[in-house]
Chain A
Amino acid sequence: MIYGKIWCVVKPSVGIPLFLSAVAIGSFLVHLMLLTHTTWLPKYYEGKPVAAVKAANDSSGGAPPAAVVAQKSQ
């Protein structure tokens, strides 16, 4: 396996937490940057009140919420 001998020179007790932290911090930062630099992610995270979705459902004959919200936002 490629790079399989890395643990001969990097202690797993150091390298594995370092690797996992890098993944966790990296994915957190990607989501944070998307949240602060786009318009669609804050809207998505904000969601919609249940009443609004219910009303939209009633008016469009019980379509699934995702489709309704998409229609409403157009």
Chain B
Amino acid sequence: MAEYKSDPNKVWPTGLTEAESEEVHRNVIQGTQIFGFIAALAHLFAYIYTPWLK
């Protein structure tokens, strides 16, 4: 059975290597986390300071 070995220097069809892809993905995840945190905070403030759901 052939074992899959990833070549770190291989340029994939999108023009990125695996390391570059991981770097892009880290930023996507971080952006999502920051967006989610701000959205949760906005909902919390709306709940506290307005008659929402009251």
* Cross-interface CB contact of B26 among A4, A19, A23, A69, cutoff 8 Å: A4
Q: How many residues does chain B have at the interface if contact means C-beta atoms less than 8 Å apart?
A: 24
Map CB proximity to A onto B1-19 as digits: 1 under 8 Å, 0 otherwise. Answer: 0000000000011111110
* CA distance in complex: A34, B32 (Å): 23
Residue in B18, B51, B54 with the greatest tally of chain A CB atoms within 10 Å = B51
Residue in A8, A19, A66 with the greatest tally of chain B CB atoms within 10 Å = A8
Instruction: Tell me how far the C-beta of B30 lies from the nearest C-beta in chain A, rounded to whole angstroms.
Output: 11
Q: How many residues does chain A have at the interface if contact means C-beta atoms less than 8 Å apart?
A: 21
What residues make up the interface of B, taking CB atoms closer than 8 Å to A?
A: 12-18, 20-22, 24-26, 28-29, 35, 39, 48-54
